[in-house]
Amino acid sequence: MSNHRLVIVPVLVGLAAAFWTAAERIAAERRDVVTECVCEYADVTALAAYAHRPLEAALAALKEKGLTGVAVDAPTVRELVDTGVLSVQAAQTGGSWLSQPHESAMGRSALTAVCRRLGVPTTAASGLLPAPPSALMDLSAGLDPDAAAAVKHAGLDIVARLRNEPGLDPEGLEAVCADAQQLHARLVLFAGDQVLGFRDLIPETAQALADHKLHWARIEFGEQKGEDRLAEAILAGDAATGRRAGSYLRLHSITAGELAKHTPGAAIERLRRAAKERDIRVLFVRLRLGPSANELETNGLYLQQLRDALVSSGLKVGHAEPAAPRRPSRLMLFLLGAVGVASAGGWLLALLTGEWTTCRWLWGWAALALAPLPLMLLAPSLYSQVMGLLAGLVFPTLAGWWACRQVDAGRLTTTARAVALPWITVGVAVTGALLAAGLLTSTPFMLHHKQFAGVKLTQILPLVVVAFIAGAGLGLPGVRCADVAARLRALRDEHLTVGNVTVALIVLVILIVFVARSGNEGLEVSATELRFRDLLEHVFGARPRTKEFLFGDPALLLAGLAAMRGRRAAALCLLVVGMVGVVSAFNTFCHLHTPLTQSLLRTFHALWLATLLALAADAIYRRLRHA
């Protein structure tokens, strides 16, 4: 083995650690496949009324079709006053009288909850409260015990919908969670735009949820105030104790406004994809209430089709539990980061800063491995993000450098080697992606509480560096710094043509669109593309990314074919374009909330589809050219 190839040894050690972490992650993902289907209690009562069926019969029918839980609301005093359950009157001595016009379980429970909330004794009929009527109206009156009893009797999970309220203190917060537990609730869902305890009681909320074994269903894209702080507090408690009791699950729902625009099939597909691709474990299903010959049968069929879609995707419908807390050990972080990523980074630095030598590589490796070590000891999560970002910069660039070297050295002499070019180039990037995924395989990333940092940077910088490698020979064997400078001067002094400017503008537009559509937010996807994505998802199960199989990966193969025919300049231009697929493949694995098997399948499907498309396009081009 030559000194030049010594670098592969530590990279293989890091990759072995990545494979170990990946195997553990895949095993955990295969265990945690149970998904809950929850609906609103008010929707069920409305459905029962429209269908002229008892509530118990409606709940039983929906359970048979796949419903697993029902969200029971905690109404405010104002809502109960409006419905006649409670009455509030100003007392002559100051304060307010809270009473029940008609005896009911909800009234008794609400009266007790409000009086306890304000720290005053109560009788079964009324209570004198030290607050004016206006101050009582926005207080929570507790969960509806009749609704909870009906849901429990039907054998369904009770999901407690709790709301934040003014003046809440630690004792009141503890009482709210105790009431939810007493009514046998297992999941809690926060109503309104705030989590319980926002703003000053977030740590107390996390502790109360854990003490009462309540799991928080965090709404995806919900953006409730205080949710990030509550997630931090819950995860910190879980990490300290190794418990699951305070953990949370992720919930996806379709708003009423969006649901009106979706067909039942489209809504089911969206819910299925959320559970399959983003590890969502609670689906909040809004019943479709509208003109129908049989409202109950229509919604039962809707739930049954959703259940069948989930099961066909390898998921189970039942009672979901939070996954056990996960965090890579410091030894694993060292092997993945300091050994695997840093050694590859040292190799890249040695290549790009002059002629490669073992000493230059060792200095680069030492700098990249030792500088972040204090972070590994003091802030492991930050260390994971830093080394993951480094992997995103190093491995796609190394992949592009290797591809440029194959073109520059004239090694692509057969069709087989040209076909192998995109597979090996993307494979090098996937190697780095597995190392990054191993570094970031921890509960905050798996729950999408934290995200891979530097998406835009990892999409742009490797592409720019590879463009310099292709255009100026940067880092290629036999090309010295003086040669690079001479090539750049020649490029600067070259006369512009309309063709040059046109190509440059096209490439610039492509890059702008590519960057704008990268990351978690970007350009809105058109309806036509969404339908195309649905088709790909239906056909392949794991949808290949469009920018890979229709753009980047075919460009790599066409680059190999151009190099095989002696068209070096065209090959290098196509190779730079193909880097779009390389960096996209790396980014695919940095969506930690997506099951790892899905990411692997997406990349594999993109490669074989791109191979067929590029070969077909090349054959058509050659036939037309010789016609």
3-class SS of residue 377: helix
The pLDDT score that the predictor gives to residue 514 is: 61
Residue 161, phi then psi, degrees to nearest 5: -95, 105
Q: Which helix (H) or strand (E) holds 343?
A: helix 342-352
3-class SS of residue 194: strand
Residues of the chain with pLDDT under 70: 1-4, 122-126, 239-246, 491-501, 503-504, 506-527, 529-530, 627
Q: Which amino acid is at 493?
A: D
The pLDDT score that the predictor gives to residue 446 is: 86
The pLDDT score that the predictor gives to residue 95 is: 84
**Cβ(246)–Cβ(238) below 8 Å:** yes
**Cβ(156)–Cβ(40) below 8 Å:** no
CATH class label, 35-74+143-317: alpha beta
Q: Which amino acid is at 323?
A: A
The pLDDT score that the predictor gives to residue 504 is: 63
Sign (positive or negative) of CA dihedral 8, 14, 15, 16: positive
Tens digit of each residue's pLDDT (9 = 90 or more) over 584-625: 999 999 888 889 999 999 999 999 999 999 999 999 988 888
**Residues β-bridged to residue 71:** 40, 159
The pLDDT score that the predictor gives to residue 531 is: 74
Give the chain's length: 627
The pLDDT score that the predictor gives to residue 472 is: 84
pTM of the model: 0.86
**Spatial separation of the C-alpha atoms in residues 589 and 311, rounded to whole Å:** 25
Residue 165, phi then psi, degrees to nearest 5: -145, 155
**Cβ(524)–Cβ(581) below 8 Å:** no
Could you state, in order of their start, the residue ranges of all structural domains in the chain? 3-27+326-626, 35-74+143-317
Tens digit of each residue's pLDDT (9 = 90 or more) over 228-255: 999 999 988 776 665 554 578 999 999 8
**Residues β-bridged to residue 523:** none
**Spatial separation of the C-alpha atoms in residues 493 and 153, rounded to whole Å:** 82
**Cβ(450)–Cβ(444) below 8 Å:** yes
Alpha helices (H) along 335-379: 342-352, 358-370, 373-378
**Cβ(458)–Cβ(396) below 8 Å:** yes
**Spatial separation of the C-alpha atoms in residues 619 and 612, rounded to whole Å:** 11
